[in-house]
Structure 1
Amino acid sequence: MASERDLRILEAISDGCSNPQEIADRLNIKIEAVLSAAESLAESGLISVDKRVIERFSLTEEGRRYAHEGLPERRLIEMIGEGKPVSELQDPALKIAIGWARKKGWVRIDKGVLRPLGRPPEGEDEIALKMLLEGEKSRSELGSAIDLLIKRGLVAPERSKSWRYEITDAGKQVLSQSKEIISKTAGYGAAVTLVKEISQLTPDIIKSGAWREARFRPYNVRVPGETIYPGKIHPYRRLMDRMRRIMLEMGFTEIKGEIIQSSFWNFDALFQPQDHPAREMQDTFYLDSRAEIPDYRSVKEMHEHGGRIGSTGWGGVWDPEIARQEVLRTHTTAITIKYLADNPDPPVKAFCIDRVYRREAIDATHTPEFEQLEGVVMDRGVTFSNLLGILKEFYSKMGFEEVRFRPGYFPYTEPSVEPEVWIDGLGWVELGGAGVFRREVTAPFGIEHPVLAWGLGVSRLAMLRLGLKDLRLLYQPDIGWLRDTPVSVFRGV
């Protein structure tokens, strides 16, 4: 037996009301109530539902300006006439226009001169822009150029859902029978009281006793609810925030530094020889600028002769001009060594989690910029065993139950190890490097006590925690992946 509300909605649909808002306005009820009842009526076969996603497009502010003034590449064609040297087109907007004009086959560059290839006809994208000046349009009206306009940020898409209801033969029969029952009963002089259906039990219903004569609306738990996408922190950011909290909980102080560093702090202060392969252009982004560097005499002496600690140094001549070259930092160790130089007295417990830059070919496991976590401990009497204990505690807090260490080599630590964690399905996976700073690193800055140091690539750890096979997902605005990655992936980490 249909409820009173169902019959009213069914009657409204029979009278030609075909969408939820129209029915809600007619019956003075909430649209959510109409949608819920319609789902039930459709399941019972009393109505048919045509549900669609409507996509409409409108101009952005920049798109509206181009619709009036013309696309940059069209204005470029009008500007260059028979040809114009590219060197005279200094406006960044014009350089973008050159790219689009070449992509469309409108121009060519001949010995540094930009020349038009005839007078190009009006393109589909230009026609679509003019059409959108009249108001919102659908995809079918705008044609294939719409995706390009969206990519250029000139058009904004807007999606909305629509429902269209139509009563079925079964629905007409039920409606007819209910009206016939009402008519016959009314003919005997008695009013018909339909059983009221309750969807939510309230205190008033309980107190009044109305629930005794009411029928409770059943819930179909198998009907999918409306998908809601709440705001949440990016998974990669959540992971880095977790690592930061762990370090702070362990008593470390967070430090920051500049992205642009002198070669002195990035290489020389860490006792890397000036002819070390890591300094070559294929590994490092060099800048056309020079930096001021501190008093370098002790560093120069250490590199050339080994200072006064019994080291042999690297020999040769240490060049301060090479040390002044500025680079995009290749590691955050440049930040920690400078911090130690400014704070040579114990105790020091500091960490840095930030982005570094290296010249890498982009693929599934490499990018030219990535995040690195680095920590240092400097104090009286700290030992290599203390370092292993700190690392084991950190990885344990990150959710890795099995941690082991194997000997490794790094230019500025001795002894050195590579921490490894056990990953089901992968086995032992290396997650960074660690060691005790060599005296050649610490002595020039007056640091008299041992320095424990370690670093790890945050993105590699993120791939393991998130189950990724492609590092690039961490940096791409893939809305589908962001929505599908649950916050709970970091529980227990």
Structure 2
Amino acid sequence: MAELTYNEKRLMVVLNTIKEATPDVIAGELNTTAEAVVQFAHLCAEKGIATLERDITVSYALTTEGQQYVTFGLPERQVYASFQDEISMKDMQAHPLARIAIGWMKKKGWVTIEKGIVKKTGEAPEGADEVALREPDASREGILELVKRGLAEETETITYRIAITENGKALVEEGLDLREEIGTLTREQILSGDWKEQNLRRYSVDKLPKRIIPGKIHPYQRLINEMRNVLLEMGFVEIYGEVVQSSFWNFDALFQPQDHPAREMQDTFFLDGSSPLPENWERVRDIHEHGGTTSSAGWGGTWNPAKAQTNVLRTHTTGLSIQYLKDHPDEPVKAFCIGRVYRREAIDPTHTPEFEQLEGIVMDKDVSFRHLMGFLKEFYGRMGFENVRFRPAYFPYTEPSVEPEVYVDGLGWVELGGAGIFREEVTDPWGVTYPVLAWGLGVSRVAMLKMGLRDLRQLYRSDVDWIRDTPMMQGGRD
């Protein structure tokens, strides 16, 4: 049998006297806490000299809101009792509890709703939840339903019983050394040699130490920070902008026609209110209608200033790049933005209505398409993707355009964004005369590849265990 610590010996001596007790009683005898006693008992139980029985008792109690309904009944019962056989939905909504009650009355089959009229079905028997409202211990099914509704709370009470075993009694009868142990030596004890006479505490190297959980930045935020640092090291400056943008900057300045499907409600979050058009907006109008002073023929038709003034939640960060170029039309320019964008997407493992996008631009004399591919290959290489290739693509506001792909073991070649050179219809209205290399990617897609995730939603959940278990670095730079 492994040697006992000083505290284990003290516990065994007390148990040999009182045989069995709760941690609180033993804590009083040992002048320590009940939590410490449970810890000592666990160690003794592993050695077979004591037993530790754990019992969990669950109890329920009504919340403050639940107590308010004890006298007059649940919201659905109160609203149900407030009218006769039928009532218009409009009149019912005047009841202060209607918002809560309507759904529950339908779910319980108490009413039907047809053409704006709420009709009673004829029966509204008392349910288990109403029974539990009066007597929380009377119906387990009912009280659990109240817990789901936030009208009751569940409380767990854990109790322990500690007892000595026959092996423990025999051990105590053989005699225990109750000299206090020393776990830390002082400098003086070491220099004087006094440590040799001390009763040193023994430590087992066979057991893993208690896990230490440090504070950590969220894995997704760490990846965003890593991307930001890579671009800053490459000589880029970071730009920022508002989440709410006018349609002018989000669409029109990027040469997207005003009847483009992406501007419809199913793809874009439109907001109340509008924003004024910037100075020289007429140049963008001319580009759309007939190409302005460029070689383009434009889209034709009549460009509507009112439509350009409507506000939206930005669907990309490219509009920020154009605004930066407007304010910095002279070379050289190297800028990037990492920001959240919004699109009307159905939520599933690979789509969410809001996500982060990284946008980069380079504008300088004589930069070319080869420079663009060089920037991208360098960036992805620093992010840990060694094999990069490029595939021709089409994007509305760049020409030529390309899609960079990286090779991922087990998945093959994966597309990671889009890039190209801004069309003259995009740059000409702002006096930009040199080529502008532009590229962007969905940050969340990079995160899924680097973290080995199958569900994009994992990045936005408050999963403490996942955050604790995710390594600080997951490939990429050291």
Q: TM-score band, normalised by the shorter chain? A: 0.7 to 0.9
SS at match of 2:300: coil
Select the residue among 98, 101, 107 that pairs with 1:97: 101
C-alpha deviation, 1:374, in angstroms = 1.2
1:107 aligns with 2:111: yes
C-alpha deviation, 1:40, in angstroms = 3.1
Select the residue among 242, 245, 267 that pairs with 2:251: 267
Work out whether residues 196 and 215 of structure 1, in 8 Å CA contact, stay in contact via their aligned partners in 2: no
Letter in 2 for 1:108: T
Select the residue among 353, 358, 365 that pairs with 1:368: 353
Deviating more after overlay: 49-58 vs 17-26: 49-58
Structure 2 match to 1:442: 427
Work out whether residues 80 and 114 of structure 1, in 8 Å CA contact, stay in contact via their aligned partners in 2: no
Select the residue among 14, 22, 25 that pairs with 1:22: 25
Letter in 2 for 1:307: G
Work out whether residues 57 and 155 of structure 1, in 8 Å CA contact, stay in contact via their aligned partners in 2: yes
Deviating more after overlay: 163-172 vs 380-389: 380-389
Letter in 2 for 1:368: P
CA distance in 2, matches of 1:92, 1:253: 54
Deviations 1:13-67 (A, max 9, x none): 3405533343222111455653443233212211122245665656555555556
1:312-331 aligned at under 5 Å gives the runs 312-331=297-316
C-alpha deviation, 1:10, in angstroms = 1.6
SS at match of 2:21: coil
1:298 aligns with 2:287: no
SS at match of 2:446: helix
Select the residue among 221, 225, 228 that pairs with 1:237: 221
Query: Per the alignment, do residues 468 and 212 of structure 1 end up closer, same or farther by CA in structure 2, a change over 3 Å counting?
Result: same
CA distance in 2, matches of 1:74, 1:258: 47
C-alpha deviation, 1:109, in angstroms = 1.7
Deviations 1:319-366 (A, max 9, x none): 334333443322121232233234434443332222222233332212
Letter in 1 for 2:25: E
Select the residue among 284, 288, 295 that pairs with 1:310: 295
Deviating more after overlay: 384-393 vs 166-175: 384-393
Select the residue among 396, 419, 428 that pairs with 2:381: 396
CA distance in 2, matches of 1:32, 1:199: 22
| Identical positions, percent | 52
C-alpha deviation, 1:259, in angstroms = 3.2
Letter in 1 for 2:172: L
Select the residue among 150, 170, 175 that pairs with 2:172: 175
Work out whether residues 436 and 451 of structure 1, in 8 Å CA contact, stay in contact via their aligned partners in 2: yes
Work out whether residues 3 and 197 of structure 1, in 8 Å CA contact, stay in contact via their aligned partners in 2: no
Letter in 1 for 2:256: Q
Structure 2 match to 1:182: none
Query: Per the alignment, do residues 213 and 341 of structure 1 end up closer, same or farther by CA in structure 2, a change over 3 Å counting?
Result: closer
Work out whether residues 235 and 487 of structure 1, in 8 Å CA contact, stay in contact via their aligned partners in 2: yes
1:49 aligns with 2:46: no
Query: Per the alignment, do residues 86 and 31 of structure 1 end up closer, same or farther by CA in structure 2, a change over 3 Å counting?
Result: same
Structure 2 match to 1:336: 321
Number of residues of Structure 1 aligned to a counterpart in Structure 2 = 471
CA distance in 2, matches of 1:156, 1:486: 36
CA distance in 2, matches of 1:230, 1:130: 46
Deviations 1:393-446 (A, max 9, x none): 322332223323222211101122212222122122111111111111111122
Query: Per the alignment, do residues 169 and 94 of structure 1 end up closer, same or farther by CA in structure 2, a change over 3 Å counting?
Result: same
SS at match of 2:395: coil
1:338-357 aligned at under 5 Å gives the runs 338-357=323-342
CA distance in 2, matches of 1:357, 1:272: 18
Letter in 2 for 1:167: I
TM-score by length of 1: 0.82
Select the residue among 139, 143, 158 that pairs with 2:140: 143
Letter in 2 for 1:24: A
Deviations 1:59-97 (A, max 9, x none): 555555556775443443344554443234268963243
Letter in 2 for 1:285: F
In structure 1, stretches of 5+ residues that fail to align are 133-139, 179-192
CA distance in 1, matches of 2:36, 2:314: 59
CA distance in 2, matches of 1:232, 1:160: 32
SS at match of 1:408: strand
Deviating more after overlay: 454-463 vs 377-386: 377-386
Query: Per the alignment, do residues 305 and 99 of structure 1 end up closer, same or farther by CA in structure 2, a change over 3 Å counting?
Result: same
Letter in 1 for 2:470: T
CA distance in 2, matches of 1:241, 1:81: 62
Select the residue among 174, 179, 187 that pairs with 1:196: 179
Query: Per the alignment, do residues 6 and 284 of structure 1 end up closer, same or farther by CA in structure 2, a change over 3 Å counting?
Result: closer
Deviations 1:435-474 (A, max 9, x none): 1111111111222232221111111111112211111222
Structure 2 match to 1:164: 161
Deviations 1:81-122 (A, max 9, x none): 544432342689632432233233333323212344457455
Select the residue among 415, 422, 428 that pairs with 1:430: 415
CA distance in 2, matches of 1:251, 1:343: 16
Report the aligned-residue RMSD.
3.5
CA distance in 2, matches of 1:480, 1:335: 37
TM-score by length of 2: 0.84
Deviations 1:139-168 (A, max 9, x none): x88723455444444455555754432211
Query: Per the alignment, do residues 48 and 422 of structure 1 end up closer, same or farther by CA in structure 2, a change over 3 Å counting?
Result: same
1:115-134 aligned at under 5 Å gives the runs 115-117=119-121, 120-128=124-132
Letter in 2 for 1:242: E
C-alpha deviation, 1:373, in angstroms = 1.3
CA distance in 2, matches of 1:87, 1:124: 30
Deviations 1:208-228 (A, max 9, x none): 836535253342633674x66
SS at match of 1:376: strand
1:52-91 aligned at under 5 Å gives the runs 62-63=65-66, 71-80=74-83, 82-88=85-91, 89=93
Query: Per the alignment, do residues 482 and 87 of structure 1 end up closer, same or farther by CA in structure 2, a change over 3 Å counting?
Result: farther
